[in-house]
Amino acid sequence: MQPIRRRRLPTLLAAAFAVLALSTAGAAAKDGVVIAMGIEPAGLDPTIAAPAAIGQVTWQNVFEGLTRIDRDGKVRPQLAEAWDIATDGKTYTFHLRSGVRFHNGVAFDAATAKFTLDRARGEKSTNPQKQFFETIERIEAPDAQTLVLSLKQPTGNLLYWLGWPTAVMLEPSSAEDDRTHPIGTGPFVFDGWRQGVSVDLKRNEAYWDAARRPQLSSATFRFIADAQAQAAAVQSGEVDAVPEFGAPELFASFKDDPRLETVVGDTELKVVAGLNLRKPPLDDVRVRQALMMAIDRQVVIEGAWSGFGTPIGSHYTPNDPGYVDLTGRLAYDPAKARALLAEAGHADGLDLTIKVPQMTYATRSAEVLQALLAEVGVRLTIVPTEFPAKWIDEVFKRHDFDMTIVAHAEPLDIGIYARPDYYFGYRNPQFDRVLGEAEAATDTARRLELYGEAQRMLADDVPALYLFVMPKLGVWKAGLKGLWANEPIPSNDLTEVRWDD
């Protein structure tokens, strides 16, 4: 008996494995897509909380705005098909599209649009970009298809801001539940959220825009935190795409795989080492300039992100309209940096601490900064902190730091330097004035010129060490078309995604 039994065991095991393997194969249908994301959204309503992951699941897929931002970062009409701007730049009249319905059947009209904007700017609003709506003084809905916004001052960015995930249109009776069950006007309908696992969407068969009706019948966003696990999932074919792959050092390994396509694009994530200008020695602009000149950005990019990434010289990305390349402004020059430090009275060197969150890009960048700054006599002590909770408490709220390092995710957020109590502690009335004028300017050329001036001021004043823009490392199955290569706004717009036969 025994010999037979012994021989049977491996056979049985092999059979069991085969059955299991068969039962998992062939799961992916050709007209559906499985997208992997590193971070699970905290709720599914982008108008009440900040995490970018919320918009990356819902924006343009489930929810739409009066305007939208396309893959090139351009503003386009969406639920508003056209608009008139009064000559003083203070009245916007939107002509809303007719025949648009929310996923629960309720019609979209000027009243729902007014409700959405009032909710975002109201007293109880937790909208993460509430300042966008502060320029609005009065909202009127003279008829179902017309929405009139009267502004406190001309606001050149209004149409752009209305295209953001934070400004999507909600339906009044379902708005409270959008957090767990989003209802919008978009090309995909919410089809379930298995917390910790995935969000499922299915095609909106009644989508209003016949020209942009999606080809995918369904889409699944799967949340895989670990980069190794992301790589395994895309290599084994369980997910079709990882639009933002988390481990640059593994990215090269996809290149030789004929089943996969890799695309390196740009994000809006600006990696900056913020400085605390409230206290010595970083209140001295010479010290800050010296620190900037001690940094070889290419070395940082190499060490932190395997050479992927674009160096920046100010708080602005090459994606943004009006970008000026300022990386040559305080270019890498350790000798000059030393001289400037000596001039500021730090000939014997300087001791600084940097509070570093646990994210890979931050810890690696900090180590490179430490090595580079040591070359000019700055002894940098790395103090680990935890993002977001601890970092927000220590650095963002209590300003208890010398240096820190995080990636700023919001597109076109140069305005943070004009906020009075922002964590850098940067106060420059001239900057505030230029930025105010830029935001009010309705003439595009003039606005971009002013933004250029603002970028230059930051490059000279160095409230933060401007390092690099995070790349968007995309990897997906060959044959999958239509995903965005760049990310002018955090998103995974699936409207144009399809399979090539």
Partner 1 sequence: MLLRRLIGLLLTLLAVSLLLFLVMNLLPGDPAAVMLGTSARPDTLAAMREAMGLDRPLPVRFVVWLGGVLTGDFGTSITYGTPVAELIRDRAAVTLPLAGLAILLSILIALPLGLVSAARRGRRADAVAGLFAQLGLALPNFWIGLLLVLVFASELHWLPSGGFPGWSAGLGPALSALVLPTVALALPQAAVLTRVTRAALLDTLAEDFVRTARAKGLTRREALLRHALPNAMVPILTILGLQFSFLVAGAVLVENVFDLPGLGRLVYQALLQRDAVVVQGTVLCFTALVVVVNFLVDLAYLRFDPRLRAAS
Torsion of CA 328, 330, 334, 336, to 10 degrees: 120
- In angstroms, give the least distance from the CB of 256 to partner 1: 14
**H or E stretch including 448?**
helix 444-461
Q: Long-range contacts for 118-127 (Cβ within 8 Å, ≥24 apart)?
A: 119/47, 119/170, 119/175, 120/47, 120/166, 120/167, 126/48, 126/49, 127/47, 127/48, 127/166
- In angstroms, give the least distance from the CB of 355 to partner 1: 12
Q: How far apart are CA 400 and CA 384, in angstroms?
A: 13
- In angstroms, give the least distance from the CB of 424 to partner 1: 11
Q: How far apart are CA 144 and CA 99, in angstroms?
A: 11
Do 365 and 415 touch, CB atoms closer than 8 A? no
- In angstroms, give the least distance from the CB of 420 to partner 1: 11
Provide φ and ψ at 434, rounded to 5°.
-60, -45
- In angstroms, give the least distance from the CB of 342 to partner 1: 35
Token pair, residue 353, equals 């601490």
Of the pair 138, 194, the CB lying nearest partner 1 is at 194
- In angstroms, give the least distance from the CB of 488 to partner 1: 18
Per DSSP bridges, beta strands 403-404 and 350-356 are parallel
Of the pair 342, 359, the CB lying nearest partner 1 is at 359
For the purposes of burial, counting CB atoms within 10 Å of the CB of 286, is it exposed (0-12), middle (13-18) or buried (19 or more)? middle
Of the pair 208, 251, the CB lying nearest partner 1 is at 251
- In angstroms, give the least distance from the CB of 182 to partner 1: 11
- In angstroms, give the least distance from the CB of 24 to partner 1: 5
Q: For helices 429-440 and 444-461, what crossing angle results, to 10°?
A: 160
Of the pair 266, 394, the CB lying nearest partner 1 is at 394
Interface residues with partner 1 (CB under 8 A) are 17, 19-21, 23-24, 40, 42-43, 48-51, 123-131, 179-180, 194-197, 222-226, 228-229, 232-233, 235-238, 386, 388-390, 392-394, 396-397, 406, 408-410, 416
Of the pair 293, 406, the CB lying nearest partner 1 is at 406
- In angstroms, give the least distance from the CB of 245 to partner 1: 15
Q: How far apart are CA 126 and CA 175, in angstroms?
A: 13
Q: Rounded to whole angstroms, what are the CA distances from 121 to 64, 113, 155, 290, 413? A: 18, 13, 16, 42, 19
- In angstroms, give the least distance from the CB of 328 to partner 1: 28
Q: How far apart are CA 182 and CA 60, in angstroms?
A: 12
Of the pair 197, 478, the CB lying nearest partner 1 is at 197
Q: Rounded to whole angstroms, what are the CA distances from 165 to 33, 41, 491? A: 22, 13, 9
Query: How far is C-alpha 299 from the chain's CA centre?
Result: 24
Token pair, residue 331, equals 């270019």
Question: Where do runs of H (alpha helix) occur along 326-443?
Answer: 334-343, 360-374, 389-391, 429-440
Of the pair 214, 246, the CB lying nearest partner 1 is at 246
Of the pair 115, 193, the CB lying nearest partner 1 is at 193
Of the pair 110, 239, the CB lying nearest partner 1 is at 239
Of the pair 123, 348, the CB lying nearest partner 1 is at 123
